[in-house]
Amino acid sequence: MTRIIVVTSGKGGVGKTTTSAAIAMGFAQKGHKTAVIDFDVGLRNLDLIMGCERRVVYDIVNVIYGEATLNQALIRDKHCEQLYILPASQTRDKDALSQEGVGQILEELAAKDFEYVVCDSPAGIEKGAHLAMYFADDAFVVTNPEVASVRDSDRMLGILSSKSRRAEQGLEPIKEYLLLTRYSPERVRIGEMLSVADVQDILSLHLLGVIPESKSVLTASNSGMPVILDEKSDAGQAYADIVARYLGEDKPHRFIEEKKGLFGKFFGSK
Partner 1 sequence: MIFFISNVKLPTVNNAVASTDTDRFSKMSNNSPILEFKSGSFSVPILILFTDDLKAIGQQLQEKVDLAPEFFKNSPLIFDVQELNKQGYPVNIPVLVEIIRQSGLLPTGIRGGNAQQNKAALELLIPVYSVHIGTTPPDTQKQKNITPEPIVDVSTATTTLITRPIRSGQRIYASGDLVVLAPVSAGAEIMSEGNIHIYNTLRGRALAGVQGNTDARIFCSDLQAELISIAGNYKISEDISSTVGKKSVQVYLQGHTLIIQDIV
Compute the 3-state secondary structure of the chain and give helix, strand, coil in percent, each to the nearest 5: 45, 15, 40
**Shortest distance, position 199 Cβ to partner 1, whole Å:** 12
Nearer to partner 1, 71 or 162 (CB): 162
**Shortest distance, position 161 Cβ to partner 1, whole Å:** 6
**Shortest distance, position 208 Cβ to partner 1, whole Å:** 17
Nearer to partner 1, 150 or 225 (CB): 150
* Distance in angstroms (rounded) separating the CA atoms of residues 168 and 176: 17
**Shortest distance, position 192 Cβ to partner 1, whole Å:** 21
What contacts 220, CB < 8 A, 6 or more positions away?
Answer: 18, 49, 226, 227, 229, 230, 233, 235, 236
Where does this chain bind partner 1 (CB under 8 A)?
151-152, 154-155, 157-159, 161-162, 173, 201-204
**Shortest distance, position 141 Cβ to partner 1, whole Å:** 11
- Tell how far CA 164 is from the center of its chain: 18
Nearer to partner 1, 148 or 218 (CB): 148
Nearer to partner 1, 202 or 244 (CB): 202
Find, among 98, 100, 50, the residue nearest to 74 by Cα: 50
Nearer to partner 1, 197 or 247 (CB): 197
Strand partners, 142: 179
